[in-house]
Structure 1
């Protein structure tokens, strides 16, 4: 098991960041959806995803992909948010289809049916689509080079030891 965890450390960290981002998205989305954005559930979802994306950038850069890089920080951030914008569209698309193409909303369905459809389409299907795209795109374009943020560090009296580069 230890070998598996070590081999897939980056993926597991990405999953933890994603799970935390999912929780952030869920809380913000439902707070907005049941208060100030009752008539705009897709907008509530988009705002929830945007807030979670800001958290996600910091957590992915500093923890999940901490040894990867290959770009200046501003270029990396621009790519991250561009890709996250595409993923946001992928995340919102299933709920938009559920609400406005399939018309799974009150009064065509019960309030419970509407909320189940919103959760399954926006929070589950949308999150899966967005997450798969992010994993692929972040490794390909945002953090493409393994080991890019490592450099030699020479502790006092110990030349040649390696350590993590301060970002």
Structure 2
């Protein structure tokens, strides 16, 4: 029988678990991003105002991301009450939406007053979909892990912490 490598412990195990989480989060986020991008551009081309189109596309993509993250990325997390998790998820996503809308508003309405090219569909996509989403993604990953899908570290990494036993 070939020798087995020891199970990673401590920092190494935590980094591997974090990398798995980030990979799954990235996959779910990429799919949600695609839905957001397609829906935003569809609504924009149909005549929706740019901020309204972004808000609607983000709400749809957020719902998709919630279910992907809850049932795949952090399926081993603490799932106490779906309605509560969904609400917190949406509130945190509203902050992410605010980040994207701020980037879009600065570009389209602020800088676009001086450089009209920044009021084009391409510029709006860069500001909202790429810059805003990139900044918002960092916030979302941190906040989902911290407040929505708190992982059971012992279950996801095999790392246990010693705690006093009840008397």
> TM-score, structure 2 length as denominator?
0.76
Q: Please, which runs of 5 or more residues in structure 1 have no aligned partner?
A: 151-167
Between 1:127-136 and 1:114-123, the stretch displaced more is 114-123
Could you tell me which runs of 5 or more consecutive residues in structure 2 were left unpaired when the two chains were aligned: 1-11, 157-167
Separation of aligned partners in 1, 2:93 and 2:40: 17
Q: CA deviation at 1:149?
A: 8.5
| Deviation per residue, 1:119-159 (Å, 9 max, x gap) | 21111011012111110100111112325999xxxxxxxxx
1:16-55 to 2 correspondences below 5 Å = 16-37=27-48, 40-55=49-64
Worse-matched range after superposition: 54-63 or 69-78: 69-78
Q: 1:80 aligns with which of 79, 89, 94?
A: 89
Report the number of matched residues. 143
Query: TM-score by structure 1 length?
Result: 0.76
Identify if the C-alpha distance between structure 1 residues 73 and 125 changes in structure 2 by more than 3 Å, giving closer, same or farther.
Answer: same
Once the two structures are superposed, residues 24-45 of structure 1 have per-residue CA deviations (whole angstroms, 9 ceiling, x without a partner) of 00000000001131xx112111
Query: Is the helix fraction higher in 1 or 2?
Result: 2
Partner of 1:124: 130
Computed over aligned residues only, the root mean square deviation of the Cα atoms, in angstroms, reads: 2.6
Deviation track 1:100-137 (CA, whole Å, cap 9, x = no partner) reads 111269xx5358x7223212111101101211111010
